[in-house]
Amino acid sequence: MVHITFFLALAAILFCIGLYGVLTRRHLVIVLVCVELMLMAVSINLIAFSAIGPSAGIEGQVFTLFIISVAAAEVAVGLAILIALYRNRESIDVIKHDLLRW
């Protein structure tokens, strides 16, 4: 069996790529995609621990299910907001959406 550290390293790398994308990409859809990547990295961790962790059990898989549900809901709402935003401001650029400015 593959040692658990490999899975954890993979998850960490995916998480960081997602994070970097969230911080730097300017297309709103891509930002949402990167958020999905980060969630997925967490799921990998959960499944890995669930299968070959120190206290392996079914809980990791159950919570991965929850994460997938939340991610699905998040994508649906996120894209809805994105479309409403695009309709109102005619732009998909993150930098242009600075309504929180002082």
Partner 1 sequence: MIQNAWLIPVFPLIAFIILLFFGRYLKQKSAYVGITAMALSFILAVLVLFERIGGDTYTNTITWLTFGDSTISMGYEVTALNAMMLIVVTLVSLVVHIFSKEYMHEDDRINVFYSYLGLFSFSMLGLVLAPNILQLFIFWELVGLCSYLLVGFWFFKPEAAAAAKKAFLTTRIGDVGLLIGLVLLFTATGSFEYGEVFAAMEAGLLNGTISEALVTVIAICIFLGAVGKSAQFPLHVWLPDAMEGPTPVSALIHAATMVAAGVYLVGVMYPVFLASNTAMTVVAYTGAITAIFAATIALVNTDIKRILAYSTVSQLGLMILALGTVGYVAGLFHLMTHAFFKALLFLGAGSVIYGLHHRQDIRKMGGLWSRMKVTSITFLIGALAIAGVPPLAGFWSKELVLAAVWYEGDIFLFILAVLTSLLTAFYMFRLFFKAFTGEFRGDHEPHGENSKLMTMPLVVLATLAVVAGFVNTPFGFWLEGFLTEGLNVGYSAHGDAWLIFLSIGIAVAGIALAWAMYYKKSIPEDFLSSKFPGAHKVLLNKYYMDEFYQKAFVLPTVTIGKFFWEVDRSIIDGIVNFVGRSTRNSGRTFAKRHDGQLQTYGLVTIIGGLAVIAVAFVLGGYFG
Partner 2 sequence: MSTQLIFFLVLAIIAIAGAVLVLKLNKISHRIVSMFFTFFATAGIYFLLGAEFIGIIQIIVYAGAVTILFVFGMMMTEHRNITFGYHPRKIHRVLSFIGVGTLLGLMLYGISTLDNLPLKEQYVGTAEDIGISLYGHYFIAVIGMGFLLTAALIGAIVIARKEAK
Instruction: Report the site for partner 1 in 1-30 (rule: CB under 8 A).
Output: 19, 22-24
CA distance 74 to 68: 10
Least Å distance, CB 45 to partner 2, is: 10
Nearer Cβ to partner 2, position 3 or 101? 3
Give the number of other CB atoms < 10 A from CB of residue 101. 4
Interface map 20-59 toward partner 2 (x if CB under 8 A) = xx-xxxxxxxx-xxx-xx--x--xx--xx-xxxxx-xxxx
Return the sign of the alpha-carbon dihedral for residues 46, 51, 56, 60.
Answer: positive
Least Å distance, CB 39 to partner 2, is: 9
Contact assessment for residue 18 and residue 41, using Cβ atoms and an 8 Å cutoff: yes
Interface map 73-102 toward partner 1 (x if CB under 8 A) = ---------------------xx-xxxxxx
| Token couple for 96 | 């242009």
- Per the DSSP assignment, residues forming a β-bridge with 93 are 27
CA distance 64 to 70: 10
Of positions 95, 98, 101, 102, contacts partner 2 by CB under 8 A: 95
Instruction: Tell me which residues touch partner 1 (CB under 8 A).
Output: 19, 22-24, 94-95, 97-102
